C-alpha cells in the first residue's frame, strides 16, 4: 500500500515515520521546506506540493479544515490528481460540516473518504499507539485496516463521514473542561494544605478521575515540563469548532460556553504557542 502523508508537523511527521517503519511505502509532503528537511533527515522520502505521487491513501494531518479544503480542492488538488479508487483519510481535527461537504465531493470524484481524528499526541503517533475515531463507511475502513492497525492502539468507528470529527470535538471539549475543573479542584485542596500529588492520588482512586488527572497532571503539569506537543492555539481552535457545532445544532450548551470563555478563544493571544496544559487566566 502506497501512502502519502500531507502535513509533516508534530503529528503527521511521526505518523509518516511509524508507517514507514511498519513496511508501507510512504512519501511525505509539506508546504514548509523546514518540515520537509526535518523528515528527510530522518529517512523519509519527501516531495514538494507540485510533485505528489500516485498513492493508495492520502493521509492528511493539517492544522484546520481550511488547509484540508485547500489540499483537496486547490493545491495540489487531490480531487483532480488522486487516482480513482484512492482513499483520503483526514486525521486532522476538522470542522465536521466541512468534512461532510468534502466527503461528498471526494466520493463524486470516484475517491473514498474517511475522517480519522486522533488522540495520543506526538508520542502516540511515534509509537503507533494513537486512539482514532472513524467517520466513513465499513468498506473504506476495511480497505485501510492495515494502515490503521500500524498507527493505532484503538480505533472506533462512530458513524458516517463527519462523525469522527464531531466526536473528536466532543472529546476535546471534555478534555479542556477537565483541565480547568481539575486545576480548580487541586488548587482548592492545596489552599487547605493538601499536597497536589496527594490530592491527585485521591482523585485517581475516585469518580473525579479523568485522563487529565491520570496523565496530564503528573506528566506535564506537576513535572513542570509542559512539552506534550499539543498547543493552546490548537485547543482553542477545537473549542471554537465545538461551539460552532453546538450552535448549528441549536444547542446552547452552558458549560461549553463557560469553557470557551475561560480558554479565551476569541482574542488574539501570544500564548497560542504555549503547551495546552499551561492553564492561565490571561
Ligand atoms: P503542526 O502545526 O505541528 O503541523 C501541521 C503541518 O501542516 C505543518 O508542518 C504545516 O507546515 C503543514 N501544512 C499546512 N498547510 C499545508 C498544506 N496546504 N499542505 C501541506 N502541508 C501543510 O500541527 P500538529 O500538532 O501536527 O496537528 C495536526 C492536526 O492534528 C491538527 O488538526 C491538530 O488539531 C490535530 N491534533 C494534534 C495533536 C497534538 O498533540 N499535536 C493531537 C491530536 C490532534
Q: Where are the domains of the chain?
A: 2-160, 166-273
- Grid cell listed for 181: 475543573
The rounded percent of the chain whose pLDDT value lies above 70 is: 99
Which of 1.10.1040.10, 3.40.50.80, 3.20.20.70, 3.40.640.10 is the CATH number of 166-273? Answer: 1.10.1040.10
Rounded distance, CA 11 to CA 191, Å? 38
DSSP character for 128? T
Mean pLDDT of 192-205: 98
- The chain-wide mean pLDDT, for the chain, equals 96
Indicate the pTM of the whole model.
0.95
Could you report the per-residue pLDDT of 226-264, keeping only the tens digit for each? 999 999 999 999 999 999 999 999 998 999 999 999 999
Mean pLDDT of 132-157: 98
The preferred substitution site among 11, 32, 89, 170 for testing ligand 1, maximizing ligand atoms within 8 Å of CB, is: 11
| Parallel/antiparallel/unpaired status of strands 25-29 and 57-60 | unpaired
pLDDT grade, residue 76 (50/70/90)?
A: low
- Grid cell listed for 141: 475502513
Using the structure block, give the residue that is written with the C-alpha cell 480513482: 84
Residue closest via CA to ligand 1's atom 13 equals 7
2-160 sits in which CATH class? alpha beta
pLDDT grade, residue 130 (50/70/90)?
A: very high
Fold agreement (2-160, 166-273):
no
Residue closest via CA to ligand 1's atom 8 equals 9
Distance from residue 43's CA to the centre of ligand 1 (Å)? 20
Amino acid at each position: 500500500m502506497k501512502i502519502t502523508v500531507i502535513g509533516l508537523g508534530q503529528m503527521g511527521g511521526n505518523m509518516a515515520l511509524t508507517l514507514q517503519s511498519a513496511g508501507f511505502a510512504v512519501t511525505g509532503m509539506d508546504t514548509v521546506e523546514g518540515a520537509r528537511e526535518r523528515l528527510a533527515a530522518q529517512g523519509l522520502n519527501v516531495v514538494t506540493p507540485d510533485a505528489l505521487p500516485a498513492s493508495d491513501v492520502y493521509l492528511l494531518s493539517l492544522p484546520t479544515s481550511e488547509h484540508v479544503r485547500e489540499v483537496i480542492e486547490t493545491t495540489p488538488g487531490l480531487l483532480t490528481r488522486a487516482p480513482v479508487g484512492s482513499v483520503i483519510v483526514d486525521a486532522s481535527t476538522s470542522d465536521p460540516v466541512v468534512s461532510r461537504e468534502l466527503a461528498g465531493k471526494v466520493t463524486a470524484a470516484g475517491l473514498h473518504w474517511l475522517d480519522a481524528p486522533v488522540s495520543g499526541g506526538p508520542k502516540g503517533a511515534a509509537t503507533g499507539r494513537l486512539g482514532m475515531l472513524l467517520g466513513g463507511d465499513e468498506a473504506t475502513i476495511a480497505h485501510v485496516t492495515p494502515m490503521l492497525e500500524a498507527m493505532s492502539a484503538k480505533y472506533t468507528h462512530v458513524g458516517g463521514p463527519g462523525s469522527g470529527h464531531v466526536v473528536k470535538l466532543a472529546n476535546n471539549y471534555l478534555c479542556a473542561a477537565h483541565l480547568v475543573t481539575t486545576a480548580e479542584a487541586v488548587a482548592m485542596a492545596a489552599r487547605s494544605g493538601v499536597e497536589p500529588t496527594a490530592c491527585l492520588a485521591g482523585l485517581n482512586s475516585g469518580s473525579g478521575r479523568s485522563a487529565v488527572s491520570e496523565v496530564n497532571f503528573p506528566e506535564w503539569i506537576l513535572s513542570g515540563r509542559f512539552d506534550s506537543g499539543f498547543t493552546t492555539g490548537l485547543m482553542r481552535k477545537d473549542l471554537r469548532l465545538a461551539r460552532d457545532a453546538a450552535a448549528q445544532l441549536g444547542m446552547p450548551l452552558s458549560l461549553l460556553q463557560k469553557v470557551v470563555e475561560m480558554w479565551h478563544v476569541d482574542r488574539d493571544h501570544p500564548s497560542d504557542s504555549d503547551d495546552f496544559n499551561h492553564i492561565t487566566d490571561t
